[in-house]
Structure 1
């Protein structure tokens, strides 16, 4: 008989209000401003959406946040 090994799936976690706002803002930036990293950073900062620590975005902080979010 074939045995199937079950792999534990990570728990499903609902996005936070911050994560939802970030996602909506990124979608708007990709639609209106462009897809380059500099477009994204400029778009986030011009829309006054700050990092989780309240700082303006940099390329480094954006990469770190995307890594933290698993994107």
Structure 2
């Protein structure tokens, strides 16, 4: 009996999630929302580049240390 109740609840949640998704698909894109996500992408790209630069510096330092200890 508990399994049946849990199954019904899960089905109801899945159904309501699909309804919400259908409604979201019908909404027009907001200029503010597009601007927000563009800024997030730009920020994340800049952050990624700084991490890559830091890793390259560590790699160079590691290679130099390794060559000196041979």
| TM band (smaller chain) | under 0.3
TM-score after normalising by structure 2: 0.25
TM-score after normalising by structure 1: 0.25
